[in-house]
Amino acid sequence: MKFYKKVFIIFSALILFVNVCFPGAALCISVKKEEEMGREFMRVVLEHFELIKDPFVVNYVNKIGDKIISALPPQPFNYNFYIIKEDSYNAFASPAGNIFINSGLFEAMENEEELAGILCHEIAHVVCRHISQRIEKQSKIGLITLAGMLAGIFLGLEGTGAVSSALTLGSIAAGQSISLAYSREDEIQADQLGLKYLNKAGYSGAGLLTMLKKIRSKQWFGSDQIPTYLTTHPASEDRIVYIGSWLETSEKPSGQVFNIDPYDFQITHTRFVSMHGEESIVLKKSETRIAKYPSDPMALYGYGLVLAKTGNFKDAEINLKKALEKRSFDSHILRDLGRIYFLDGRYEEALKTLKTSLSIAPDDIESLFLLGRTQAGLGKYENAENTFEKLIEKDPDYDRALYFLGDTYGRHGKLENAHYYLGLYYKNERNFKNAEFHLKKALKTDDPDRKLKIKEILKEIR
């Protein structure tokens, strides 16, 4: 029931939003209005659902998404890609280019082709503006339809196929039943364009087919367990046949070879499962895998990560060092070895290891974050401040860096800076009471540009 309470809150918030912002239920959504709806949708998601915030995983997913976007004609929206912490198989697009994958679906993937296939299909729905078109057709309801559709998508997160297939607004809205599933024509168009874009981006398209087959294989559990993707994306059998035929008969771009290095996906997926999966299940699977493949660096790496998660830093270190014997200059394994040293309070070893990692991959965001934490732990506050400042310049949305930068400035006695960055952190966390407290303190700054920015933020959060 807790989940459905969330859905009701989301639905109510979106209904309120469209009535206040778009009185009269406009018959056609402009790009600007769709962007506003996308922002409101994102706000509700952040309030009621957990996103995976692991920068290594999120940056990889966005890298693949951006690679596909680069193959598209100019777009009216800026696309962003997210992983929602939900076990069910689902992926969907919200207004204005927000693409979501459930953690359960990402965990089921085995290679980059499969990830690209799912992302590209959702991107195609946004390119075609299928949501906007469906709202426009419902002239009596207008934008309220979108609120119902989005609430229904979230109903489907629980895998309740019968409920997620349609949402009856009834007395809540306009008294008419609305289908949540994309139409058959929508799906065909998204598959056609998606496959075309995949080829342009350097993918064969086979990953979309294998993912649809994986999703379909869930059906034998019974109607209550059918993954949401099958209820919000209909005609799966027809789609499988169509995509299979396309892969066999279509002409590929002249001279194009689909040869993708599997490593980026493997290490990202290994990290994702090890650090964000159910601990007891992941530990058991890792033990089985390491027994079968004792020299596999990915098996060693994953086992080391889950051991560290349980607090067994000694054995975690042993397994990551074994993995490094196979991949000596792997910055990712070095970074996580440095993280284990940091968590174990071995700051000097962490400092040395993280510096080595950054010498190989100087733009690695998490390595910079861990380096800053380590420098602060050693009392090297000025070094830590410089490291966190560099990180935020590279990734302004890394909220944890904002918090620890503020904390470090505070420990260093630089209170105006401490209050400023803590205020930004709490603002992003939507903790407006604490944000206002710190930002008011930060107004004592002599920097006129910063003072102006603080005043603008205070006006916004009020």
Closest CA to 37 of 98, 120, 84: 98
Query: pLDDT, tens digit, for every residue of 57-78?
Result: 999 999 999 999 999 999 988 9
More confident site: 46 or 103: 103
Look at residue 209 and tell me whether its pLDDT is greater than 70.
yes
Predicted TM-score (pTM) of this structure: 0.82
For the chain, state the CA radius of gyration.
Answer: 24
Look at residue 284 and tell me whether its pLDDT is greater than 60.
yes
Structure tokens at 296: 């596999």
CA 273 vs. chain centroid, Å, equals 14
Look at residue 448 and tell me whether its pLDDT is greater than 50.
yes
- Residue 152 confidence (pLDDT): 46
Among 24-38, 119-133, 294-308, name the most confident range.
294-308
What residues pair up with 99 in beta bridges, in sequence order?
A: 81, 93
CB 211 within 8 A of CB 227: no
Closest CA to 423 of 390, 398, 458: 458
CB 414 within 8 A of CB 408: no
